[in-house]
Amino acid sequence: MNKFIFLASVLLGTTVLSQQQQCRFVPVCDENQRPDGGSIKGDKGEVGSPGKAGPHGPQGIKGEQGLMGDATVLIHLVTNLMEKLEQQSNLLNETSRKLEKIYEYVTPVSCKSALVKGRQKLRTGDEVYCDNGWQVFQHRYDGSENFNKPWEDYKHGFGNLSSEFWLGLEKLHQITTSARRCRLRINFRDFKGSHSYAEYRNFSIGSESSSYQLTLAGFSGSAGDSMLVSSIIQNGMRFSTVDRDNDLDGRNCAFQDGGPWWHKNCGYARLNGLWSRSSTSDTSMSWYHWKNRWGGLKSSMMKVQCDY
């Protein structure tokens, strides 16, 4: 009987008891689950769209400048400084170049860059005579200096740069052999004021051991060529003086035929011969091929110009 009552109560309870009350008797049970399988609460809807942003908040206090900001300012300052230094450096270089040019004009390395005509002190300390970019090594124009001198005088030079002079074979050897190439130019003037010139594009003087042997080639000029005449080519000849006969003649050409020179047997160029207003002797100062005669020269200027 009791069992009957209990079963009846269970059957009745499924309809009369609440879901909560029923769950007291069912081990696994959801209180929100309806008896017909539905849910007591409604299903979750989809997530809605975000709401509008709120108004801006008040501006905060400005913070201290960071490390990157300091570095940027520093780089800017250094860049400006470098640009200014570069400008100053360019200005200094330009000024230095101008000063170097002025210095070069005042104390040139050689006559080639000298503007002054006449006596000139070179940067080496040597005093020379320059003429339009050439260095003069023989100058005669008034007969004030005796050119009939022995070997040692021609070796070391004599006379005065302010008047007549011979520079010296030793210096001429050093000048022409320290250069890549040298030229020889000789200017002539007669007693009537006429002038002419002879130029040789290759000119060099050997050492004393070769008796200051002459190397000469490439004539041009208005005075004619008295050095490379086919019968008496003086290229390759050694220097002769009154006390040292190095010529190819039976005589001593320096003593008998026109003074110290690079004689062969003997030759038509005698620029160290006797200076005379009237002499037409072959012992007088001559450049034969200018007027095809001996003598008649008032002045001669022998000069050298070199490329280094």
Tokens of 42: 């409604």
- Only segment of 6-14, 47-55, 131-139, 246-254 that touches Ca ion (CB under 5 A): 246-254
What DSSP line would sit under 202-226, residue for residue? EEEE--GGGTS-EEEEEEEESS--S
Give whichever of 140 and 263 is closer to Ca ion, judged by the CB atom. Answer: 263
Give whichever of 237 and 302 is closer to Ca ion, judged by the CB atom. Answer: 237
Residues 248-267 that bind Ca ion (CB under 5 A): 249
Give whichever of 153 and 247 is closer to Ca ion, judged by the CB atom. Answer: 247
Contact between 164 and Ca ion by CB under 5 A: the answer reads: no
* Minimum gap (Å) between residue 237 Cβ and Ca ion: 11
- Only segment of 10-18, 44-52, 161-169, 247-255 that touches Ca ion (CB under 5 A): 247-255
The answer to whether 164 and 271 are in contact (CB under 8 A) is no
Contact between 131 and Ca ion by CB under 5 A: the answer reads: no
What DSSP line would sit under 44-61, residue for residue? P-PPPPPPPPPPPPPP-P
The CA angle 299-300-301, to the nearest 5 degrees, is: 130
C-alpha 129 chain-centroid distance: 28
- Residues near Ca ion (CB under 5 A), total: 3
Distance, in Å, from the CA atom of 230 to the CA atom of 171, rounded to the nearest integer, reads 29
* Minimum gap (Å) between residue 247 Cβ and Ca ion: 4
Distance, in Å, from the CA atom of 95 to the CA atom of 2, rounded to the nearest integer, reads 131
Give whichever of 104 and 249 is closer to Ca ion, judged by the CB atom. Answer: 249
- Only segment of 33-41, 101-109, 190-198, 238-246 that touches Ca ion (CB under 5 A): 238-246
* Minimum gap (Å) between residue 251 Cβ and Ca ion: 6
The answer to whether 284 and 270 are in contact (CB under 8 A) is yes
Handedness of CA 82, 84, 88, 94 (dihedral sign): positive
Binding mask 188-227 for Ca ion (x = CB under 5 A): ----------------------------------------
Tell me 113's DSSP state: G
Contact between 245 and Ca ion by CB under 5 A: the answer reads: yes
* Minimum gap (Å) between residue 117 Cβ and Ca ion: 39
- Only segment of 21-29, 144-152, 171-179, 244-252 that touches Ca ion (CB under 5 A): 244-252
Give whichever of 63 and 250 is closer to Ca ion, judged by the CB atom. Answer: 250
* Minimum gap (Å) between residue 189 Cβ and Ca ion: 31
Distance, in Å, from the CA atom of 201 to the CA atom of 187, rounded to the nearest integer, reads 15
Residues 47-76 that bind Ca ion (CB under 5 A): none
Give whichever of 254 and 297 is closer to Ca ion, judged by the CB atom. Answer: 254
Half-sphere exposure of 227 (CA within 13 A, CB side): 24
Cis before 182? omega within 30: no
Residues in the chain: 308
Distance, in Å, from the CA atom of 217 to the CA atom of 37, rounded to the nearest integer, reads 130
* Minimum gap (Å) between residue 211 Cβ and Ca ion: 12
What residue ranges bind Ca ion (CB under 5 A)? 245, 247, 249
